[in-house]
Chain A
Amino acid sequence: MAALGRAALLLALGLVGYALFAGSYAAWKRRRRLALSAQNALLAAFPAVVVAAIVLWVALARRDMTFEYVAAHTSHSLPLGYALSAFWGGQEGSLLLWLLILSGYAALAVWLNRRSRELLTWVVPVLALVAGFFVFMLCFVSSPFATAPAPADGAGMVASLQNPYMLAHPPLLYLGYVGLSIPYAFAMGALLSRRTDERWIVLTRRWTLAAWTFLGVGQLLGAHWAYVEIGWGGYYAWDPVENAALMPWLAATAFLHSVMIQEKRGMLKVWNMVLVALAFCLSIFGTFLTRSGVVNSIHSFSQSPLGGWFLGFIALMTVFSVGLIYLRLPLLRARTKLESLVSREATFLYNNLLLVALCLTILWGVVYPLLTEALRGETRSVSKPYYDFFLHAFGLPLLLLMGLGPLVAWRRASLRSLGKTFLVPLAAAVVTGAVLLGLGYGSSWPGLLAYTFSAFVVASIVLEFVRGTAARRSIAGEGRLRALAMLVARNRRRYGGYLVHAAIVMLAIGVAGSSAYQTVREQALKPGQAMAVDGYTLRYEGLRTTQSANAQTTRARVEVWRGTSHVATLDPGKSQFPVEGDVGNDVSIYHDPRTVGDLFTIADQIVPKTNVVYLKVLVKPLVNLIWLAGFLFVGGSLVAMWPDAVEQRRLAERYEPGAATAGA
């Protein structure tokens, strides 16, 4: 079986190599059949990679310990679901997942855009270059198909990865990371073919939005996994691996906004190229961070076989992108200029500057320990206060801009009209801030500002829907509901975007509530003893031990009252995994529907001899808004990316005048 996997990867390497070299030659010499042949090679690479992936999945399902990868990441007692998820639990499998998704995306992008042959001719070699790097690594540097005599049992899986979230979180993140390769390839393809019109943006708009959505949802699932599984009571720790996904997401967010300025005004062409290249390079950098071992220490990076290769590839792609953008600068000059600093375009620009500034400060925080270790021989890292400072400095103005942007007209806005449109959101913000200040929320200024700005944004979004519906009714004479539905249907990107903004506001409120206003208590309890936290009373009743297939779990039974009402029975505990030699925290949470917050309990320490439990309790107001925001985020993204037949006809008529009438 391993031989089939290796052969499939070698075949894929040959195919993407052909797509790269034959495709480049064909594009350069304008050879039609050779270009088509290169496209076919890229299409054919996908089934070859699928075969390799199937081989690994079958080996994992059968716990075939002759595969070194299977022996290193599973055990015979590991449940089947987790054994299959070990595909992305290790370095080699993760690289194969990258390649699987990339080759699938590339095949789909080539097939869907087969009529845009001129642009595609250069897109194929760019995609083949990226795929070529990963397949080369899998063939010669980090193979998942290395074999050895089978041990009696495998090393098992890290306890914290044995969680249902791990089945979905990494693939979603990878769908996002890898998805950013498609707009990047089309952007570079446009530069190489000197087609710097908006076609590449039109063709990749949904790809970018889908990748961005996957990356966002993947991070949210990762945060929820950390919240329920890691057992420290938080959901985001500014860990380099977490930051690795946040950085490309921020760059892609900036790109999604600035690309609208290019479409509407023909401006920011260079900036958009820079952003799409930045997002792509950061997605590779994210993979490098999580897979090279560099996060733990610069020394583990040099010991890892991946580190140097990844760094070389990132350097190559950066030089290639910057060089190409520089060479094509004359083609990217804008003919129009920003008319006013008080306009919708200007708010988009401010939003871009803040997003990129936040992205780069996070990048600096991530690379700083690596640089100090490499240059001085000692690791000096930046911690939470550094990230929190910049989150407040850039994140809070970004939040406010989400409310300001929709209220400002395109091109230029006069102070008079601004005063009129700002009145209601400003009043909502002032009233909210004053009331919260009166209620004692001034204990955290960032928290209070986040709530106040959120009120401003929510009011501006509601106002947009109300005014838009009213305008639609006055034009078409429709009923309220139909007018609202038609308003959204005819302007999906705009109103889908507003729904995403509403999701970000929910997220901001949840983060502010659960971090700035949380309560934490820790106490050692004997059976029968109780502790009080923020209106809740928790009484510890005793311990219970259970045995599952691969773990022994000890849980403390805790009864919870709010006032005089019994509201929940919680059972925080710990699980021991003998094969892995690992201990996992099993937290227990009461979701309070009245506060949309959580009562979060951790059995920090259990002493079985005396039955004493060191119980850590966190009351996290509004934290569930963070997870609920995910649904609205996905809903808004779907509205924004849902195809609009009228727009598609218009674009088809623009780019393929003959095809539009043929129903393209």
Chain B
Amino acid sequence: MALALALAAVLAVAAVVFVARPFLREPAPVSDRLSEPGPEERRLLELAEERDRALGALKELEFDHRTGKVSDGDYRAQVGPLRRRAAEALRSLEPREPSPRERSHGAAEPLS
């Protein structure tokens, strides 16, 4: 019984130390705020997902065409819009040119 209680106490102390570790390691942090993606970061992620979808769809279409699931006519009808979509997504992800207003205020704001 005494051994069991001693083991339980050791386990409890170890757990408490481990739980308190973030506070013990950083008693006075510069910032305690959880980082959060800003609107621009979220927009970029959406665009990255859209880009991957468009490129994946293009790859699937090519493969389906090669394996005979998509006829030549269907392939020609679909490949153009898909390529345009992929190109648009890639273009949107390219770093933006600063606007005249941003230029007049110096460097662009960081993302987050």
Contact = CB atoms under 8 A, between A and B. Distances in A.
B53 A40 contact: no
B26 interface: yes
Interface in B51-106: 52-53, 56-57, 60-61, 63-64, 66-71, 73-74, 78
Given A3-B1, A37-B21, A409-B74, A31 B61 contact: no
A47 B74 CA distance: 58
Contact of A7 (B4, B20, B36, B74): B4
A47 B11 contact: yes
Contact of A650 (B33, B36, B52, B66): B52
B45 A654 contact: yes
B21 A40 contact: yes
A416 B75 CA distance: 13
Nearest to B33: A30
B103 to A, nearest CB: 25
13 contacts: A3-B4, A30-B36, A31-B33, A32-B29, A43-B18, A44-B14, A44-B18, A117-B34, A412-B78, A414-B71, A471-B67, A650-B52, A654-B48
Dominant secondary structure of chain A at its interface with chain B = helix
Given A37-B23, A412-B74, A421-B69, 12 more contacts: A3-B8, A26-B34, A31-B32, A32-B22, A33-B29, A37-B21, A414-B73, A416-B71, A420-B68, A468-B63, A650-B52, A654-B45
A1 B49 contact: no
B84 to A, nearest CB: 15
Q: What is the size category of the interface that chain A forms with chain B? A: 35 or more
Nearest to A194: B42
B28 to A, nearest CB: 11
Given A30-B36, A33-B23, A37-B22, A471 B74 contact: no
Nearest to A470: B67
Contacts of B14: 44
A198 B70 CA distance: 28
Contacts of A416: 71
B7 to A, nearest CB: 6
B19 interface: yes
Interface in A1-56: 1, 3-4, 7-8, 11, 15, 18, 26-27, 30-37, 40-41, 43-44, 47-48, 51
Contacts of B53: 263-266
Q: What is the size category of the interface that chain B forms with chain A? A: 35 or more
B12 interface: yes
Most buried by B among A4, A263, A265: A4
A421 B69 CA distance: 6
Contacts of B12: 7, 11
Interface string A417-431: 100110000000000
B102 to A, nearest CB: 22
Given A4-B8, A414-B73, A36 B22 contact: yes
A471 B63 contact: yes
Nearest to A475: B66
Interface string A226-266: 00000000000000000000000000000000000001111
In order of increasing CB-CB distance, the 9 nearest A-B pairs are A7-B8, A4-B4, A36-B22, A471-B66, A467-B67, A33-B22, A30-B34, A44-B15, A417-B71
B40 interface: no
A567 to B, nearest CB: 46
Nearest to A33: B22
Contacts of B66: 471, 474-475
Contact of A40 (B8, B22, B48, B69): B22
Contacts of B71: 414, 416-417, 420
A411 interface: yes
B67 A118 contact: no
Given A3-B5, A33-B29, A411-B57, A197 B68 contact: no
Contacts of A1: 4
Most buried by A among B22, B31, B53, B57: B22
A413 interface: yes
Nearest to A117: B34
Contacts of B35: 32, 117-118
Nearest to B67: A467
Contacts of A36: 21-22
A606 to B, nearest CB: 50
B69 A468 contact: no
B22 A417 contact: no
Contacts of B45: 197, 654-655
A74 interface: no
